[in-house]
């Protein structure tokens, strides 16, 4: 079925099947204007009584400080035993935000490097100004974790900051991009001049970061309210 235009008044009938029950139902929807995107923010909930589950959908400017403040606020009322960063579907953003967040778990370390075609690399250290939390951590990933999200994921993996649980990341991490003008000055092309190399020398772009524990979220899981990755992360931090 071709995608319906948002401005089209023609209703569309969808057939929806629930894997958990194998039952189907028909739903009639009418296309309309898309709502404005909500302002990105950090969500923190308590899991298993003492584990902070931290979620945000992008590494937008200020997200690290916002996440760390939310964790600190929770620590003020709860004795935390671990932290889960749920980065499934995180579209990336500012890599320095990830470096600041990693600084809460390790200092004097390099998460990734930006390297050019000649092999000249610019190390990207974690932020030593971030106070250490001294708590174990697990990060949840999937194929929606891209760009700066993958910088964070590979840093967590290579620096042994915690386990990765879920599925392989997107593999969409070509490095910082710059604008180049065509000789006839008709157009500008945005291309990366360097690529991202992990702390262990691995390439991320086109490959992604594999999890330490494979725990995909299936349609059956969604329809029954299950979350194997979150359950695995909770088990790791509770052991």
Cα–Cα distance measured from residue 192 to residue 178, given in angstroms and rounded to the nearest whole number: 6
Backbone angles phi, psi at 114, to 5 degrees: -100, 115
195-198 and 137-141 as β-strands: parallel, antiparallel, unpaired? unpaired
Give the pLDDT confidence of 28-83 residue by residue, as tens digits. Answer: 888 777 776 667 789 999 999 999 999 999 999 999 999 999 999 999 999 999 99
Cα–Cα distance measured from residue 88 to residue 64, given in angstroms and rounded to the nearest whole number: 17
Residue 234 host element (H or E)? helix 228-238
Residues facing residue 180 across a β-bridge:
189
Instruction: State if pTM tops 0.75.
Output: yes
Tokens of 152: 């964070």
* pLDDT bracket for residue 192 (50, 70, 90): confident
Backbone angles phi, psi at 133, to 5 degrees: -85, -25
Cα–Cα distance measured from residue 152 to residue 100, given in angstroms and rounded to the nearest whole number: 10
Give the pLDDT confidence of 3-24 residue by residue, as tens digits. Answer: 445 555 788 888 988 887 888 8
Residue 156 host element (H or E)? helix 148-158
Fold exhibited by the domain 43-114+124-172+200-238: 2-enoyl-CoA Hydratase; Chain A, domain 1 (3.90.226)
């Amino acid at each position: 079925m071709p995608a319906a235009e948002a401005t089209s008044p023609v209703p569309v009938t969808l057939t929806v099947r629930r894997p958990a029950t194998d039952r189907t139902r028909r739903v009639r929807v009418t296309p309309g204007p898309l709502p404005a995107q909500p302002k990105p923010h950090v969500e923190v909930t308590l899991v298993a009584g003492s584990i902070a589950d931290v979620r945000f959908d992008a590494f937008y400017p200020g997200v690290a400080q916002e996440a760390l403040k939310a964790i600190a606020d929770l620590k003020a009322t709860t004795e935390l035993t671990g932290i889960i960063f749920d980065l499934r579907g995180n579209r990336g953003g500012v890599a320095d935000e990830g470096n600041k967040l990693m600084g809460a778990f390790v200092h004097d370390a390099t998460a990734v490097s930006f390297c050019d075609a000649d092999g000249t690399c610019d190390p990207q250290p974690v932020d030593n100004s971030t106070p250490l939390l001294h708590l174990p951590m697990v990060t949840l990933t999937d194929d929606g974790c891209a760009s700066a999200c993958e910088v964070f994921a590979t840093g967590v993996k290579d620096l042994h900051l915690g386990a990765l649980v879920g599925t392989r990341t997107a593999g969409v991490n070509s490095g910082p991009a710059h604008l180049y003008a065509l000789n006839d000055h008709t157009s500008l092309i945005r291309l990366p001049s360097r690529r991202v190399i992990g702390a262990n020398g691995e390439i991320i772009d086109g490959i992604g970061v594999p999890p330490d524990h494979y725990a995909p979220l299936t349609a059956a899981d969604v329809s029954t309210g299950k979350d194997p990755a979150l359950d695995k992360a909770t088990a790791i931090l509770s052991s």
